[in-house]
Chains A and B, each alone.
Chain A
Amino acid sequence: MPPFEKILLKNMETPGYTGSLADYERGGGYQALRKVLGKIPPAEITETVKKSGLRGRGGAGFPTGVKWGFLPKDYQGPKYLCCNADESEPGTFKDRQLIERDPHQMIEGMLLACYAIGVETAYIYIRGEFVLGAQILERALAEARMAGYVGQNILGARTSINIWVHRGAGAYICGEETALLESLEGKRGLPRVKPPFPATHGLYNKPTVVNNVETLANLPHIINRGAEWFAAIGSPPKSSGTRIFCVSGHVKRPGNFEVPMGTTLRELIFEHAGGMRSDKPLKAIIPGGASAPFFTPEHLGVKLDFESVAQAGSMLGSGGVTVMEEGTNMVWAALRLMEFFYHESCGKCTPCREGSSWLVQTMRRIVDGRGRNSDLETLVELCQNIAGRTVCAFGDAEVAPIMSTLKYWRHEYEELIQQAAMSAPAELMMPVMGKH
């Protein structure tokens, strides 16, 4: 491995680092804010972020500076920033670490974003289950207020920025940015039809930016060290910087590993995560959270950057890399993910609401040894009628596990169905509506 300096995890990996304001300041914390506040015009910050090539770390990978640039110019009236800390994509646990171990890093990032886009009120939408994370953020914000970094007339400048923690209450879909806004407005978290986009009609129908925790945490470093420095890290020009990959599953050393984008799956799994946990060989990899299509060992050479993973037929997504060993049944694995999507479908769009129920029932039938020959055709037809036919990207995500396991491990589906045919006469059962 070539020598490489971590950016986001550097502080917290220093022995004794507690994440307190004093610790953060000792490591150069809030210097970026001091550097820009009242000294560098906001538009210049947006330009710097554009030039750095920073792209969203939540899943979609949209260029951050470009997203900011969509806010209407010279808009009079309130605008909002929401930090998306709803981390709920199965396989992903990086934001939790960024929040609980170095809260000031993301808070400084939020302040820089607010300054750049002219926002005075920002919310951290954190998933409800992160009770400890919310407490740590509240504590860090209290420290930051005392020190004059948050509140009225920050550091004596004319800029005022308030940041509030807002807890979700258990709904995966609230990580989708427009569902997040609905939820923050006190409603059911149903995604909105786009356009209009949050940049013009967001929170309370006002111009709004929603950025992920890891995205925001990168900002102080970009401001301190410059766009060129950041743009050269990783796989420029389209995948600059590092990513924190969350490795889970059958590896020796699961965890969060910050590496330059463009690192191969092989290096991540076999060097950073210590390789397979037993002598069972690798069978399958999910490279970017539950919504990303499965990979096989043939894909170990794929570079972990936005373009390479997409070209290989999956997506970099949220950075959740799940590793499965030989002996894991892929139909069972896809069913487990499908159950997740069925549970989390918000119910707004019919193809997703009804389709996820049908998919779960069909998959469960196959796994339980009651599958029929026509089931594979049913699965494909259902998937094709969900993807691309819903308001948000959830519809595309929920079919990924089934479509990709069917592509690489179709024989496992067929074996289960054949066994069912031999052991017992299949009883005809139509999928029915409602929970089972």
Chain B
Amino acid sequence: MLKETYKAEIDDILSRYPIRRSAVLPLLYLAQKEEGYVSEAAMKEIAGILRLTPPQVYEVVTFYTMFQLKPIAAFHIQVCKSLMCALVGSDTLLRWLKIRLGIGPGETTADKRFTISTVECLASCGTGPMMQVNDDYYEGLTESKLDRILADLKRDGTSPLKSGPFMLPEPMKG
């Protein structure tokens, strides 16, 4: 139950808005953090906390692309396929991923470690092709960089190649 695990956090979130309903996205994020997706039970609980009907929560969940209605793999690889990334090779990035992981967009590896999705513009147009893995951006991808990232993820669960605070062109070293 969210209410027990995240009591302080929920109270803090609710205190930021004059109307409880505004807390629906933050609470859905909590639910997804807890279970890896947004379950029906979580939606009902959120509806209860916010004094909404369950459909009022469900209609929000299904509007926004970042909420998962079913469990997905540990690493969610999201490849930007919008024009700006496509111009610099996002289609080849998808092909490399298919070669390395054996799956395409919308699919999950048999070991449940990787799910690939294609997404629309992630505001990383000058550093394409790029992908987001869970919370992290990986930009300016090449075949060798991708291989290193996948190896890092499998071994350590994260990779030092993820993006830090963004600046392009790269800042001068101070």
0/1 string, B157-174, CB within 8 A of A gives 1: 000000111111101111
Pair B122/A129 contact, Cβ less than 8 Å: yes
Pair A128/B66 contact, Cβ less than 8 Å: yes
0/1 string, B126-141, CB within 8 A of A gives 1: 1110001001110000
Q: Which residue of B lies closest to A94 (CB)?
A: B123
B residues 1-53 near A (Cβ < 8 Å) are: 16, 18-19, 21-26, 28-29, 50, 52
Which of these binds chain A: B84-92, B95-103, B148-156?
B84-92
Across chains A and B, which 7 residue pairs bring their CB atoms closest together, nearest first?
A16-B174, A15-B174, A170-B65, A169-B64, A254-B126, A186-B21, A248-B125
Q: How far is the CB of B166 from chain A (nearest CB, A)?
A: 5
Which of A121, A186, A204 is the most central at the interface, judged by chain B CB atoms within 10 Å of its CB?
A186
Chain B residues contacting A250 (CB-CB under 8 Å) are 87-88
* Chain A residues close to B by CB (< 8 Å): 12-17, 19, 78, 87-93, 95-97, 100-101, 121, 127-132, 136, 164, 166-172, 183-189, 204, 246-250, 253-256, 290, 320, 322, 324, 328, 333, 336-337, 339-340, 343-344, 346
What's the dominant secondary structure at chain B's contact region? loop
Q: How far is the CB of B69 from chain A (nearest CB, A)?
A: 13
Q: How far is the CB of A418 from chain B (nearest CB, A)?
A: 25
The contact sample of 10 A-B pairs, CB cut-off 8 A, is A14-B174, A78-B18, A91-B83, A93-B126, A96-B123, A129-B123, A186-B19, A186-B24, A189-B63, A322-B84
Chain A residues contacting B64 (CB-CB under 8 Å) are 128, 168-171, 189
A163 to B115, CA, bound (A): 36
Pair B24/A320 contact, Cβ less than 8 Å: no
Which of B22, B121, B122, B135 is the most central at the interface, judged by chain A CB atoms within 10 Å of its CB?
B121
Q: Which residue of A lies closest to B121 (CB)?
A: A90
Given A167-B25, A189-B63, A248-B125, 6 more A-B residue pairs with CB atoms under 8 Å apart are A90-B84, A96-B166, A132-B136, A186-B50, A290-B82, A346-B63
| B111 proximal to A (CB < 8 A) | no
A346 to B120, CA, bound (A): 14
Pair A183/B25 contact, Cβ less than 8 Å: yes
Q: Pick the residue among B26, B63, B127, B172 that contacts A166 (CB under 8 A).
A: B26
Q: How far is the CB of A420 from chain B (nearest CB, A)?
A: 22
Pair A164/B60 contact, Cβ less than 8 Å: no
Pair B125/A97 contact, Cβ less than 8 Å: no
Q: Pick the residue among B22, B65, B81, B123 that contacts A130 (CB under 8 A).
A: B123
Pair B19/A185 contact, Cβ less than 8 Å: yes
Pair A15/B125 contact, Cβ less than 8 Å: no
Q: Which residue of A lies closest to B165 (CB)?
A: A100
Q: A186-B21, A340-B121 are in contact. Are A167 and B168 (CB under 8 A)?
A: no
Q: How far is the CB of B128 from chain A (nearest CB, A)?
A: 7
Pair A336/B66 contact, Cβ less than 8 Å: no
* Chain B residues close to A by CB (< 8 Å): 16, 18-19, 21-26, 28-29, 50, 52, 59-60, 63-67, 81-84, 86-88, 119-128, 132, 135-137, 163-169, 171-174
Pair B22/A249 contact, Cβ less than 8 Å: no
Q: A96-B166, A169-B66, A170-B64 are in contact. Are A15 and B173 (CB under 8 A)?
A: yes
A340 to B86, CA, bound (A): 12
Q: A132-B135, A166-B26 are in contact. Are A97 and B120 (CB under 8 A)?
A: no
Pair B67/A91 contact, Cβ less than 8 Å: no
Chain B residues contacting A93 (CB-CB under 8 Å) are 123-127, 166, 168
Q: Pick the residue among A16, A171, A336 that contacts B65 (CB under 8 A).
A: A171
Pair A90/B125 contact, Cβ less than 8 Å: yes
Pair A97/B66 contact, Cβ less than 8 Å: no
A368 to B126, CA, bound (A): 28
A129 to B65, CA, bound (A): 10
A169 to B67, CA, bound (A): 7
Pair B83/A246 contact, Cβ less than 8 Å: no
Q: How far is the CB of A401 from chain B (nearest CB, A)?
A: 8
Pair A246/B125 contact, Cβ less than 8 Å: yes
Pair B86/A188 contact, Cβ less than 8 Å: no
Pair B166/A336 contact, Cβ less than 8 Å: no
Pair B18/A324 contact, Cβ less than 8 Å: no
Q: How far is the CB of A200 from chain B (nearest CB, A)?
A: 18
Q: How far is the CB of A348 from chain B (nearest CB, A)?
A: 11
Pair B63/A188 contact, Cβ less than 8 Å: yes
Q: Which residue of B lies closest to A277 (CB)?
A: B88
A16 to B59, CA, bound (A): 46
Pair A186/B25 contact, Cβ less than 8 Å: yes
Q: Pick the residue among B23, B126, B163 that contacts A256 (CB under 8 A).
A: B126
Q: A16-B174, A337-B83 are in contact. Are A343 and B135 (CB under 8 A)?
A: no
Pair B125/A91 contact, Cβ less than 8 Å: yes
Chain B residues contacting A170 (CB-CB under 8 Å) are 64-67, 119
Q: How far is the CB of B84 from chain A (nearest CB, A)?
A: 5
Q: How far is the CB of B81 from chain A (nearest CB, A)?
A: 8
Q: A17-B174, A184-B22, A247-B126 are in contact. Are A12 and B83 (CB under 8 A)?
A: no
Chain A residues contacting B60 (CB-CB under 8 Å) are 186-188
Chain B residues contacting A91 (CB-CB under 8 Å) are 83-84, 121, 125
Q: Pick the residue among A12, A15, A127 that contacts B167 (CB under 8 A).
A: A12
Q: A322-B83, A337-B83 are in contact. Are A164 and B167 (CB under 8 A)?
A: no
Q: Which residue of A lies closest to B134 (CB)?
A: A131
Pair A166/B25 contact, Cβ less than 8 Å: yes
